[in-house]
Chain A
Amino acid sequence: MSKYRIKFSKTGMGKFISHLDLLRAFNRTVTRAELPVRYTQGFNPHQIVTFALPLSVGVESETEFVDIDFEDGTSFDKILNGLNENFPEDLYAISVSEPVFKAKDIFSAEYSVSIDADFGRSEKKVSDFFAQNEYIVLKKSKKGEKEVNLMDFIYEADVLKENDNRADIRLVLAAGGEKNIKPDLVLGSLESYLTPIKFDLTHIRRTNIFCKIQEKVEIFC
């Protein structure tokens, strides 16, 4: 076995680290820690590092996963301590283990969202938005833009709290290779639904990643 799965968090200012920048930060952390990482063959060897599911810039997370190839027999503790002693602020390794599920089986992700806004000024309610069966949006993908029903991508939405100046929501959204949606698109749509109010500040945090194995939903690990 040489593939190790690292669960880590990316919080605080760390949410502004883009996906590519995060990869570089991992490469450099592994180098500083002098961990026995494996490199690809060929002209331009690089460390074998794969993230399970990209995270949008601006979103914090307490459950990110990255797979890194190390020499056989490297202990979990050595990797965990090496990373934590060398990480930049805002990145933290929670655990190291053998991979259980495959990244391609990822099916959904859970987010905890809180929004500060003058909700009192809107006639409509946050919960009304999520109660709709259909809400058409333009969704961008590599292939171009397409109209889709946003509600097809929202698997769960619990409005935990809703008052005149704050709303707390738990969302489970489609994620992974086959079908996915970014939380910004959901919140942007919510904001236009609630026009004229504008969101002051939104906090989005990814709290879980799920995969689907033979119709059974499991927490990714």
Chain B
Amino acid sequence: MRGKYDEKLEKILCEVQKPARYTGNELNSVHKEKTDGMVSFAFAFPDLYEIGMSHLGMKILYHMLNERSDTVCERVFAPWSDMEQLMQDNDIPLFSLESKTSVREFDIVGFTLQYEMSYSNVVNMLALSRIPLRSRERGDSDPFVCVGGPCAYNCEPLADIIDFAVLGEGEEVNGELIDAYKEWRAEEKPTRESYLERIARIEGVYVPSFYDVEYNADNTVKSITPNRGCAPAKIRKRIIGDLDNVFFPEKLIVPFMDIVHDRIMLEIFRGCIRGCRFCQAGYIYRPVREKSVDRLCEIAANSIAATGYEEMSISSLSTSDYTKLGALVDGLLDITEKKRINLSLPSLRVDNFSMELMEKVQKVKKSGLTFAPEAGTQRLRDVINKNVREEDLVRTAGIAFDGGYNHIKLYFMIGLPTETYDDVAGINDLARKVVDVYYTLPKERRKRGVSITVSTSSFVPKPFTPFQWEPQDRMETLVDKQKFLKEKITTKTISYNWHQSEVSFLEAVFAKGDRRLGEVLISAHEKGCKFDGWNEYFSYEKWMAAFEENNIDPEFYAYRKIPYDEVLPWEHIDVGVTKKFLIKEHERAMEGVTTPSCRENCAGCGAASFGGGVCFE
């Protein structure tokens, strides 16, 4: 199967920008020959190579599947428009990087869904692979198409497109899917349906076609019911209990070209103890489970030896919450300093200890620091349960400026539930206070002048969060708030960037969408929508035309306040966190009452039912 497109492909690679996106010859990439009896899995990332290769989860699953002697796993990325055009001109279908095999020839094609705005690329990549777009149109010569990753928890907008979804962490369940595939292939009369029936019994596997969705006259969901015995009423996500003993690749792929995160990423724990109420990651990955210092140092040393990377970064939702951070940083510095490897510690909380750590780690580069207060006033920070206090920020900014930093980035959201214009003005006030801190320093200490960057993103209500019932601000309101803030910011010291509100609107629609959006995705694809995360491609008009064509009002999904008793499109998905808990959290938010972190006081969210992690510390 290798080499089928080699000649044509070689020619177009000579013409395309950044051919290294498509060559697949990187160090530690796995090239295996597929022989009879083996299962082939195409791991597809619906974005460019340099984005997809920055994603740790993809690398873990790729190497894990390739560890199996009975499995070939190869990578597929979305080709950039120049490449797509050349592929079409030369009649080359979408292919895998390693063996340049047409994606359609694989047994299973798995897309990872990291953000809603990549859905149009999923559809486009299926089309480029010449795989029928709707699951019901696929036949025996087509692969099974599945999805995983954070957006898979509510993959209803893709329900008619995919064959199945994998909910939760993939290290165990992906192997089970391969085992089931081999058993199925040995069946007397294997049909697509019989494979799906087999895997619907595996915990964490969701087969959308095995559920009937009924709607009310007002377009809300009436019921979601399994239509066969093998399909459980609730599909429960999978997690890995013991992160120290789960597979982790020793030999990560090292790309030739510069990618977004071109470094070793050290995942120190999964989940987050904080429970910021807007943050989906804070709920879907519960409970928090840590890797031990010893295991992390072992992984770090092995990864450096196998890759030669000059940089290593800790990866977590909130680095400061790692219980033995001091010991970990000392252990890592022992390894990295000798080898001249830069260590970076993102996602630190604002406090003295973290400043000390930064001092230790970043001996040279002292330019920018990033903080995310998320909201401008204490009232609103209490609503969203973001426990950053103004005093903390002001004090840390002082330490930072005194220590030689002169640029601070502040991240905020606008459009949060209960937000008023006072809260928006509070963003400027807070930034001003940070600037003022700088000018309290004695003159001789302020050498280069100070600059503050304020960035606002727009709040997007997400499933499985306490704000899932909340409406998003209308685009006009968001634009108005951005304008209001821009006018408030009068000093040149503070610069302001904001997100396009149309994109945030579509994110909300697809995050909270139901099955009826599948046809919208296909219409949008037909109109040429792809790479929606890229300004040069995003076309709001095309999307609106796609909604109209299918008689669907997108505002229904984004702008409606949903009552607690309404059936949600993702009602049948169980992430461990209970609806009862989310309702309680929503009520507390409306009262402006904060909820302590898992380590201060367990709030009884339901994730303890997985039997491990922080709930039993």
Contact = CB atoms under 8 A, between A and B. Distances in A.
A106 to B, nearest CB: 25
A27 interface: yes
A90 B304 CA distance: 22
Contact of A201 (B7, B26, B27, B258): B7
A20 B20 CA distance: 12
Given A32-B306, A88-B27, A201 B10 contact: yes
A31 B339 contact: yes
A53 interface: no
Interface string B498-513: 0000000000000000
A55 to B, nearest CB: 14
B305 A32 contact: yes
A88 B254 contact: yes
B364 A58 contact: no
Contact of B257 (A18, A29, A58, A200): A18
A73 interface: no
A29 B308 contact: yes
A27 B310 contact: yes
Interface string A22-44: 10110111111000000100011
A39 B465 CA distance: 50
Contact of A25 (B13, B24, B256, B340): B256
Nearest to A201: B11
Nearest to B22: A16
Interface in B296-310: 304-310
A144 interface: no
Nearest to A16: B19
Given A21-B256, A31-B310, A45 B19 contact: no
Given A14-B25, A89-B25, A28 B364 contact: no
Contacts of A202: 14
Given A31-B339, A88-B27, A18 B20 contact: yes
Contacts, number: 67
Contact of B308 (A12, A16, A28, A200): A28
A89 B24 CA distance: 10
A57 B254 CA distance: 19
A29 B306 CA distance: 10
Interface residues of B, number: 27
Contact of B340 (A14, A29, A39, A201): A39
Determine which residue in A12, A18, A86, A90 has the highest number of CB atoms from chain B within 10 A of its CB, and name it. Answer: A18
Given A32-B305, A201-B7, A43 B364 contact: yes
Contacts of A44: 364-365
B310 A90 contact: no
Contacts of B305: 32
B212 to A, nearest CB: 49
A16 B22 CA distance: 10
B362 to A, nearest CB: 11
B307 A32 contact: yes
Given A44-B364, A90-B25, A27 B258 contact: no
A148 interface: no
A21 B25 contact: no
A57 B19 contact: yes
Determine which residue in B13, B19, B254, B308 has the highest number of CB atoms from chain A within 10 A of its CB, and name it. Answer: B308
B495 interface: no
Contact of A200 (B11, B19, B339, B340): B11
A44 B256 CA distance: 21
Contacts of B26: 88
A93 interface: no
B7 A28 contact: no
Contacts of A24: 256, 258
B23 interface: yes
Contacts of A136: none
A17 interface: yes
A58 to B, nearest CB: 5
Interface in A167-212: 200-202
Contact of A17 (B20, B307, B364): B20
A30 B307 CA distance: 10
B25 A13 contact: yes
Contacts of A90: 25
A12 B3 CA distance: 13
Contact of B254 (A12, A14, A28, A39): A28
Nearest to A26: B308
A152 to B, nearest CB: 26
Contacts of B24: 13
Determine which residue in B23, B25, B256, B310 has the highest number of CB atoms from chain A within 10 A of its CB, and name it. Answer: B256
25 contacts: A12-B25, A13-B23, A13-B25, A16-B20, A17-B20, A18-B256, A21-B20, A21-B257, A21-B258, A24-B258, A27-B308, A27-B310, A28-B307, A28-B309, A31-B308, A32-B307, A43-B365, A58-B19, A86-B308, A88-B27, A88-B254, A88-B256, A90-B25, A200-B11, A201-B10
Interface of B: 7, 10-11, 13-14, 19-20, 23-27, 254, 256-258, 304-310, 339-340, 364-365
Interface of A: 12-14, 16-18, 20-22, 24-25, 27-32, 39, 43-45, 57-58, 86, 88-90, 200-202
Given A25-B256, A31-B309, 16 more contacts: A13-B24, A16-B23, A18-B256, A20-B258, A21-B20, A21-B258, A25-B27, A27-B310, A28-B27, A28-B309, A58-B19, A88-B26, A88-B27, A88-B254, A201-B7, A201-B10
Which 5 residue pairs are nearest across A and B when measured between Cβ atoms?
Answer: A28-B308, A31-B308, A32-B308, A88-B27, A16-B19
